[in-house]
Structure 1
């Protein structure tokens, strides 16, 4: 069987710098080490990474680890970079700039180079910076999938938890595109931000009378749909705020529900899991992520959707460790992007 011809952009090194987790730890302390350059399989492309978007999931797994990981493990799931090596004729081409959400089970993208299946990436338009594109994959796709699973359409009332968070910001804008009435929560200093994004009603996330105030505005009918980004006790509270047979998309692990609540509300519960596309080895789901990312990029390029505020992070272990700690401290409304030069 003939060997496929490999083409590459310039001379490539044999090793690379990477930010890794030596072992899970409560302080989320990372290390910077040298690793061998990844070796690509037939349908994989080698990418020189330019920008990596950090997510709360990265911070959580820095503390707990993940059952599929071997250590040291490079963190990071969302990346933008330039294709520097691929089999001849494989799309995308050498020199193309691409964006993707990588496999949770494999090495992450906080490294100078990484590899990814060619069908899982999306081309980045020339007028979108790498930092801007890196804000999109996890948060943008989670918002889109949640809206699809809850079938949000014109005239629906939808409750979006944590509207100032990255997922919330994308979800508010896309829900308004669909003609929904959007209710959301945010800290008081972020009310102006979520209103600007399109939220119709904003409530203080820490208000002890949150449910009573929502019902005073919404009325007795309850929400048609909920996008639950918080999880835990908030999930049961959100189901309580829904109409009978309402729809809820959960981005966190489901809690244990009281049987009475389930019988009384009969909620349609969906789970949003980007990592599942890789863990289930679903080629269709992986390709679909590239289609969704293309849609997200087009909306950003056309000015229909704005991305969260960007905070640039240096590519070193101390800066990234500190950035991950900020992800879980609460009150963070922008997107931290690690710049890899």
Structure 2
């Protein structure tokens, strides 16, 4: 390991290019901007951003705004880049390539430079492409947290909604590693994809007889667990398809439930929120995200996890705005990743 007391900081300009949201707006109108490079303190690393993974969450809050944001706001939560400055004795070292999921409450990572606490990053193995790593944090950690909250073990029957989405693709693979019998929903054109990832049974999410076909395939007992990424009426439907005291992990806000359904099914309902680790100022939760990031990267390096197909996006406001609209339109099976660094 190099002596961090003598490692020089890499040359950093005073200003940087960034993509900003001037204010929340339905059209997801973004601007190209020139901002000051962030100043770091204590255990923070300054990172030259190479790639940024886009998520539906970025698009949703570009439209509605977020209570902690000040405008103009730099969007983006998932990033990979090179450490260019770090306090003495802090790991990882200058020159390391790292991956991280940024705080929802602070400025994002769609900029040439960003700062992040050292304990919240994971070093990217040389065998993992940086653009693939940028696709992992939000979708991968959401999948892992969901499976942990659902307490998935060998023999469990698990329904994963939207199996062809990024969260669904990763969740299918890890659920199979844990020995679950995986059922999933997807458009017909994506059935081959989710089957290749390990799904045992796939249903067409547009099928008007979906519930009847699930019951015919599963039998009367119902699912042990459900990963519900859709929310709304689908959440209530999924609880109906669960066994008594079954487990459901919800990625969207909960609907209003009929009391009879809750009494009859007595579901164990979990809420999944990556943002909470930062908003609650939970150091343990932030460090756990780093541990999960390590698992994701190691799994890719060992060829135990297939990353969703990457679609590279140009680093400018117009292209990123269009990409975010695609995120909300649905039906997108890969990961859109912005290439920030031109080096």
Change (3 A) 1:322 1:269: same
CA distance in 2, matches of 1:151, 1:6: 46
**Following TM superposition, by how much is the alpha carbon of 1:298 offset from its aligned partner in structure 2, in angstroms?**
0.4
CA distance in 1, matches of 2:39, 2:97: 20
CA deviation string 1:230-277 (max 9, x = no partner): 111110000000000000000111111111010000000001100000
**Following TM superposition, by how much is the alpha carbon of 1:29 offset from its aligned partner in structure 2, in angstroms?**
1.1
Aligned residue in 2 for 1:202:
202
Q: What is the 5 A alignment of 1:101-116?
A: 101-116=101-116
- How many pairs align? 338
Aligned residue in 1 for 2:188:
188
**Following TM superposition, by how much is the alpha carbon of 1:7 offset from its aligned partner in structure 2, in angstroms?**
5.9
The answer as to 2:298 corresponding to 1:321 is: no
Aligned residue in 1 for 2:59:
59
Aligned residue in 2 for 1:126:
126
**Following TM superposition, by how much is the alpha carbon of 1:208 offset from its aligned partner in structure 2, in angstroms?**
1.3
CA deviation string 1:126-145 (max 9, x = no partner): 11111000110000000001
In the superposition, the TM-score normalised over structure 1's length comes to 0.98
Q: What is the 5 A alignment of 1:241-252?
A: 241-252=241-252
2:222/2:241 contact within 8 Å kept? yes
Structure 1: runs of 5 or more not aligned: none
2:48/2:81 contact within 8 Å kept? yes
In the superposition, the TM-score normalised over structure 2's length comes to 0.97
Cα RMSD, aligned residues only? 1.2
**Following TM superposition, by how much is the alpha carbon of 1:10 offset from its aligned partner in structure 2, in angstroms?**
2.8
Aligned residue in 1 for 2:212:
212
1:6/1:87 contact within 8 Å kept? no
2:10/2:85 contact within 8 Å kept? no
Secondary structure of 2:86 counterpart = strand
The answer as to 2:6 corresponding to 1:40 is: no
2:99/2:133 contact within 8 Å kept? yes
1:243/1:265 contact within 8 Å kept? yes
1:6/1:85 contact within 8 Å kept? no
CA deviation string 1:134-190 (max 9, x = no partner): 110000000001000001110010000000000000000000001110000000100
Change (3 A) 1:50 1:218: same
**Following TM superposition, by how much is the alpha carbon of 1:209 offset from its aligned partner in structure 2, in angstroms?**
1.0
CA distance in 2, matches of 1:188, 1:298: 32
Q: What is the 5 A alignment of 1:77-156?
A: 77-156=77-156
Aligned residue in 2 for 1:266:
266
**Following TM superposition, by how much is the alpha carbon of 1:34 offset from its aligned partner in structure 2, in angstroms?**
0.5
**Following TM superposition, by how much is the alpha carbon of 1:8 offset from its aligned partner in structure 2, in angstroms?**
4.6
CA distance in 1, matches of 2:43, 2:107: 17
